[in-house]
Amino acid sequence: MAKEKNIILGVSASIAIYKSCDIIRQIKEKVGSVTVVMTRESEELIRPVVFQSLSGNKVYCGFFDFAEAWNIEHISLAKKADLILVAPATANIIAKIASGICDDLLTCIILATKAPVLIAPAMNENMYSNKITQDNISKLKKLGYIFVGPEKGRLACGDLGMGCLAGIDTIIKEVKTRI
């Protein structure tokens, strides 16, 4: 029997965060274990207890949250990961990763990992098409980061445009091909 894969799901503050619930279910069903790491801003949109209930694992939020046992969480989580999936990925989290900014737990884990990092953007079309965002995505692709989506669809503001989170099946298919 194959070793169960450990996926870190990084969640940032996009309205598409609700789709992360289905991503967790699909990872558990088709891939393996999932540990959720939330940005502080994402906690304004959904409570960590939702992800903990769905994943069956502790949810990590703050860089300085108290650990149950002494360990350096960003390093231990980075080592444990077979893949890191950031879904939804906002323009902010993409910019921080591209710039090497490590001011939260998620960005520190990403910088410390040797596992593949898969990024699923979700944001307003104007933010997605902005030259700065496109330069950040291009830079990360050149460094070996993998992107899935976004897709065209109805955005949170009501406009129709590019910026919707890729379909869950598409994301899971990409996860499975990368581990």
Domain residue limits, the chain: 1-13+44-80+96-115, 116-162+173-179
Q: Is the per-residue pLDDT at 102 higher than 80?
A: yes
157 is annotated as an active-site residue: yes
Concatenating the DSSP letter of every residue in 114-158 gives: -S-EEEEE---HHHHHSHHHHHHHHHHHHTT-EE---EEEE-TTS
Q: Spell out the residues 6+ positions from residue 132 whose beta carbon is closer than 8 angstroms to its own.
A: 95
What share of the chain in percent tops pLDDT 70?
92
Q: Are 55 and 26 in contact (CB under 8 A)?
A: no
| Nearest to 90, CA basis, from 37, 156, 13, 24 | 13
Question: 61, 102, 108, 157: which is the annotated catalytic residue?
Answer: 157
Q: Is the per-residue pLDDT at 174 higher than 80?
A: yes
Concatenating the DSSP letter of every residue in 54-87 gives: HHSSPPB--TTPPPSSS--HHHHHHHH-SEEEEE
What does the pLDDT look like over 87-98, one tens digit per residue?
A: 999 999 999 999
> What pLDDT, on the 0 to 100 scale, is given for residue 61?
87
Give the span between the Cα atoms of 105 and 24, in whole angstroms: 19
| pTM above threshold 0.85 | yes
State the pairing for strand pair 160-164/151-154.
antiparallel
Grade residue 79 by pLDDT with cuts at 50, 70 and 90.
confident
151 or 73, higher pLDDT: 151
What does the pLDDT look like over 1-24, one tens digit per residue?
A: 456 899 999 999 998 999 999 999
Grade residue 133 by pLDDT with cuts at 50, 70 and 90.
very high
> What pLDDT, on the 0 to 100 scale, is given for residue 63?
63
Q: Spell out the residues 6+ positions from residue 53 whose beta carbon is closer than 8 angstroms to its own.
A: none
Give the span between the Cα atoms of 142 and 45, in whole angstroms: 32
- Least confident residue range of 71-75, 108-112, 123-127, 146-150: 71-75
The DSSP element (H or E) to which 35 belongs, if any, is strand 32-38
Average pLDDT, the chain: 90
Q: Are 146 and 170 in contact (CB under 8 A)?
A: no
